[in-house]
Structure 1
Amino acid sequence: MKVNMHEAKSNLSKLGEKVWQGERVVIAKAGKPYLDLVPHKGELKPRKPGRFKGQIKLAADFNEEIKEVTSGFEGDE
């Protein structure tokens, strides 16, 4: 949806609802795209490495090759 600046000022609440429902709204100035109206996204918290340290266990044979599986990929059937 493309609206001019005056229409956007007059209908900001309605346009905001449309954006939150997934519609794309472009605000034009002098007939040319000027702004994109987008929903606010909260700030992402910085990743904290080691958060699950000691909580994830791998089987002792985790890195051992399973011949039946690898042969299917390599065409050695």
Structure 2
Amino acid sequence: MHQVHVDIASTQLYDLIRAALRGEYVIIMTGDQQMVQLVPVNAPRQPRRPGSAKGLIRMAADFDAPLTDFQEYTGESPA
């Protein structure tokens, strides 16, 4: 993690940007207080398409059945 005072950050901005692009945390400070975090902007994503996950998700037939772990809290007897 880079914690850099604002005066020094202004002279090393290019190096700090490269560090942020590598995934490092870059914090710019004034005095002893953290003020700004330098983070890269992500590339634009592909637009979502409705139905693109069709057939990839399966729901179990008993997905809403009571959980046995909670029987002592609900007062139900084991089935």
TM-score (norm. length: structure 2): 0.56
**Percent of aligned positions with the same letter in both sequences?**
27
Which 4+ residue blocks in structure 1 deviate beyond 4 angstroms?
Answer: none
Equivalent pairs, count: 56
Q: How does 1:7-26 map to 2 (within 5 A)?
A: 7-26=8-27
Deviation track 1:18-74 (CA, whole Å, cap 9, x = no partner) reads 111221110001220000011111233442203x48xx7x6xxxx8xxxxxxxxxxx
2:34 and 2:46 map into 1 onto residues whose CA distance is 32
1:38 and 1:44 map into 2 onto residues whose CA distance is 17
Residue 11 of structure 1 aligns with an amino acid whose one-letter code is: Q
Structure 1 gap segments, 5+ residues each: 64-77
TM-score (norm. length: structure 1): 0.57
